[in-house]
A and B are shown apart, each in its own frame.
Chain A
Amino acid sequence: MQLFIDSILYSYAQIFFSNRKWFGAGALLISFFDPAVGAMGLLGVILSNAFAFYLKFDKEKIRTGFYGFNGILIGAAIAFFFQLTPFLVGMAVIFIFLSFFLAASLENLMANLFNLPGLSLPFILTLYVFLIIIVNFPGVNFRDVLGDSTASASYLPQSIHLLFSSLALIILQTNALAGALLLLLILAFSRVMFLNTLIAFFINYFVVIAIFPNPSSTFLILTSFNAVLVAFALGGSMIILSKKTIPLLALTILFVIIFTLFFENILSDKLLPVLVLPFNVVTLSTIYSLKFREENTDLALLYFKPGSPEENYYYHSSRTARFKDFKYLLPELPFHGLWKVSQAFDGEYTHKDDWRYAWDFVITDESGKEYSDEGNSQSDYHCFNTPVAAPLDGTVVRVINSVHDNEIGEVNIEQNWGNTVIIDHGEGLFSSLSHLKKKSITVEVGDKVKKGQIIGKCGNSGRSPYPHLHFQFQLTDKLGDKTYRYPISSYIAEGEGEKNLYVFDFPRKDQIVGNLDAHKTVKTAFDFKLGDKLEFECTFGHEKFNEKWEVKVDIFNVLYIENNSGDRLNIYKLEKMFYATNYIGKRKSALYYFYLTVPKAPLGFADGLQWTDVYPLSTALGGIVKYLSEFLLIFNEPIKAEGHYIWRKNENNNFEIISKLTITGKNIFSFYKKENNGTILLESELGISEFKFLNNGKVFLAKRIRSK
């Protein structure tokens, strides 16, 4: 039953691209401004969803209102256009079923053909069929739809009245007050959507007034209602908010006007209303065309479960910041110990043009020199004869092992690459290690190599005036092929007394870099495995409670921790990294504070190792400041939540992460700054033994309960 009620409320919310039940409930109530329309809409959704359950469609999809909202629209539209009679209601029932089938088939057709949603096309098609055949039946009377709409609230300025009316028309209401209430719902739901609604409406309003000396109120209302819907869809719901959102809205609203004119002209003979047709055409074509860009760095299409425009933005921006150069293959630096990057991407010597994405590495000593003594002979160089390792598992596909090592200062341009090993890592990725020492290569073509396995020694062969290692990724097994930009999955850079962790990053010139070594204690502590159970004794201020965690996996193979009150933290594990990817649940739980304390951790320990992360604001901050700041989100990100973490050993020799979560506002929010400190303590066999987080002077402390 709960599921059914949810499915109804979410269906109403869906019309406004909202995922809140209260929004749906509000819209449901508002739809009864015109009781006939409201009742028929409700009948539509009940029938659609019941039918979907009966036919065993995906329950989760029904719950989100996916099949219901077209039912609401068709039911409401029939009551909107005609005076209800028993016959008509009977016809409506049939067409509600028809709209359901159309929705279900269009969903698949659109998804398969264009990878697009069906939006309200099923509704339009069903309605047109209905309108065309219904004239064959006697005793069907049209209602005077827009006749009484202008009178009801004439004390409002014409434009505001028009705004309200066009909002009301979304759920086929004619009363401007209904629209006003909907606008309030929108404001409560999303500041971004609220602003977008106003922006879209006024752009449309002024453009229409400027172009047409005397536009009909029907044309005005049609264009503005479609413009507002386009703003809903493209202003943060289906396309993630960015600086280009407003220009995109402005442009698409012009298209809305054009298509409204166009459809009005071709449909008027057939006595068919234009309704949401322009919105569907403009939205779908915009989204479809955006799919074919080379880069998706802005105006990104929604690729996850939709939320409010704000939530979509927070999720996307933190995800892009956290996983910008994420790749599924996890290469490491092709050596052991610390080496210095002597030439990086777009280097000043040879890493140019097609060969720009390559690295040269050397070893420097305590005083920063690459060699001892005078540096006149190969063996003076620290890196000469030092082992070179495979960056990633793979198969050796090319070995050149017989080029002589140059005297210092000489180069061998004929055999440019010198002694080289090329490894095929599968998935189309190859790596090439060059200038190795003559006869030092210990692998042969066809050998399988493991990440970290020694394949040869650093030398001075080929175009190498002094010993160094040249390393590049490429897409073929060709010697000296053009380079491919592929990140190192994790590495540590040392310098100026700091040790910093880089994940999916590209070593930069002069950095002293080395691989991160996994540490058993840390790896065990963050190695949440399916079925693992943990229990914590928590104190928050004066409150005391116990919280139980269990590690589960969902149907999408997402690993998550669920606590005994149903809060959920998604986690993601890589070979050497732990990520908490998303938290859904209430704010007073150990799980939430665990997430705030350490959303990302390397699975290795190095004293003083530092790293950073960003949080989606929606999980790090709540309350009025966040609410207000979201009015500015369409221009820039007014408040940011960032974390800084450092590994330390405490006095008992246990590992500890000291974390700091800073929330900083800028521009008019620059008054806002909050710093929260946390620590998490590990014990060698137990794993996580304790964590605490200081939130606004109140400490959340969770102590692991040891199970015997």
Chain B
Amino acid sequence: MSKKIYEKPIIRKQQSGLMNKFGSTQSFRAINAIDGIPIAKLTEEYGSPLFVFSEKQIRENYRKMNRIFKTRYPKVRFAWSYKTNYLSAICSVYHQGGSWAEVVSEFEYDKARNLGVAGENIIFNGPDKTEAALEKAIKEKALLHIDHFDELYSIKEITQRLDLKARVAIRVNMDTGIYPPWNRFGFNYENGEAMLALKRIVHEKNLELVGLHTHIGTYIMSAEPYRQAVLKLVDLAKALYDQYEIRLEYIDVGGGLPSFNTLKGQYLEAEQILPTYEDYAEAITSPLFDLNLPTDELPTLVLESGRALIDDAGYLITSVIATKRLSTGKQSIIVDAGVNYLFTSHWFNHKIVPTKEISGFTENTVVYGPLCMNIDVIREDVVLPPMHKGDKLVVFYVGAYSVTQWMQFITLRPNVVLISEEGNVDLIREAEQLEDITAREKLPERLKEFTLDG
């Protein structure tokens, strides 16, 4: 008999229809403004749908995270995870706060350089670094986090050819007690591959080993795996010192800290079940003191948090196109933003809230996107009051990944605005136009002419 495939258990609230003559209690509080700017004014000026970012929230999150980590460890450095959100304006807010750039492709690398980030302040992660990208990064003294041996050989070859030194670290994967383990990236700790890679680097005169890196996963819902990960990195760092007297400049524990967006299949709201950031910080920082070094010689702790810093600073305003009672009797609404903008709705039950108080019975409603595709569902179940065409809704926790993973699919992508701390609204990405999409297309001469018979 073959082994059964594991399936995660899911707890879902029992739907039992109307329980009393007043219907379900209204469980939302309407939001009519973001950072003091009325939503009506925003859509009037910039249209719908519309992504809105709050600079105030971004900076607050960043300062808070800095405070939490810096009060627990003397040397902390944040590196902004470009893939989480690489809109120029957003990256620049983090760079203004002192964040380095963490990139995973040549495109992201170039984007960081274009924004004025010096090569030495860029962490280059990821399994796919082209030869050309590596050469550029080595020349510009970027920090290369090696993912596999083939990359190590490439770097070795390039540095020898150019007679340059490269500053490198390796990405380490390990068993931290979470499932599934992310063992596809980097070198494994338990089977000794990581130490083997480190030894090879130590013996290359063109490679300067400056750090260790790990990234144990994403949306990690417990602090303990981090403690395990850091303990294992600390173990490697100690071995490096004992065997080669190498003191690392930094230990990079990656990101993966959750935002308070609620995962699908999560019964309780994220805020009620997730540890606090203080708990994560405690788990990450305290094993570093096991290095038993004077404060000055401790490695810098590098954090590549993305989601935790930006998710709650992004909002998506969307409008109701139509309402429809389904054949099952369930209420549904169609809105003008679909999964093409909200890739993340595949994993998260995004909080969706109307922009004005609406009276009437609230009921479970399906929220469909506008695409002519069956998969275009933003929320399968959300308690909403009766909505009408033209009503606005705000989708929460869309700061992370939405504006990088969004697709130009069926429709064009909308405007993105940033509300400054003083309350000014800046357009930071213009809505796409037909020409943006067709400009790159080439139409062969022979296909230009056609006639359509009536």
Contact = CB atoms under 8 A, between A and B. Distances in A.
User: Are A and B physically bound partners?
Assistant: yes
B70 interface: yes
Interface residues of A, number: 29
A517 B71 contact: no
B136 to A, nearest CB: 17
A77 B73 CA distance: 74
A335 B71 contact: yes
A259 to B, nearest CB: 59
Contact of B286 (A454, A514, A520): A454
Contact of B278 (A385, A450, A523, A607): A385
A653 interface: yes
Contacts of A515: 74, 295
B294 A337 contact: no
A451 interface: yes
Contact of A386 (B59, B71, B74): B71
Given A366-B60, A452-B294, A453-B289, A338 B74 contact: no
A653 B295 contact: no
Task: Determine chain B's interface SS by DSSP, over half rule.
Answer: helix
Contact of A653 (B59, B69, B75, B118): B118
B72 interface: yes
Given A366-B60, A450-B294, A382 B67 contact: yes
A520 B294 CA distance: 14
A365 B67 CA distance: 8
A183 B122 CA distance: 70
Contacts of A452: 74, 294-295, 298
B67 A336 contact: no
Contacts, number: 68
A339 interface: yes
A453 B72 CA distance: 11
A518 interface: yes
Nearest to B249: A520
Contact of B75 (A387, A451, A517, A575): A517
Given A366-B60, A366-B63, A452-B294, A336 B286 contact: no
A363 interface: yes
Interface string A348-364: 00000000000000010
A332 B296 CA distance: 12
B120 interface: yes
Contacts of A338: 67, 70-71
A706 to B, nearest CB: 16
Given A366-B63, A450-B294, A517-B75, A337 B70 contact: yes
B64 interface: yes
Given A450-B294, A452-B295, A365 B73 contact: no
Contacts of A453: 289
A651 to B, nearest CB: 9
Nearest to B62: A366
Nearest to A604: B296
Given A337-B67, A454-B286, A653-B118, A517 B74 contact: yes
Nearest to B276: A379
Given A365-B64, A653-B121, A339 B71 contact: yes
Interface in A426-478: 450-454
Given A337-B71, A653-B120, A451 B294 contact: yes
Interface string A333-345: 0011111000000
24 contacts: A336-B70, A336-B73, A337-B70, A337-B74, A363-B71, A365-B64, A366-B60, A366-B63, A383-B71, A387-B72, A387-B282, A387-B285, A450-B292, A450-B294, A452-B294, A453-B289, A515-B74, A517-B75, A517-B295, A517-B296, A520-B249, A607-B98, A652-B118, A653-B118
Interface of B: 59-60, 63-64, 67, 69-75, 98, 118, 120-121, 249, 278, 282, 285-286, 289, 292, 294-296, 298
Given A452-B295, A452-B298, 20 more contacts: A336-B70, A336-B72, A336-B73, A337-B67, A337-B70, A337-B71, A365-B63, A366-B63, A382-B67, A383-B71, A385-B282, A387-B72, A387-B282, A450-B292, A452-B74, A452-B294, A454-B286, A515-B74, A517-B74, A523-B296
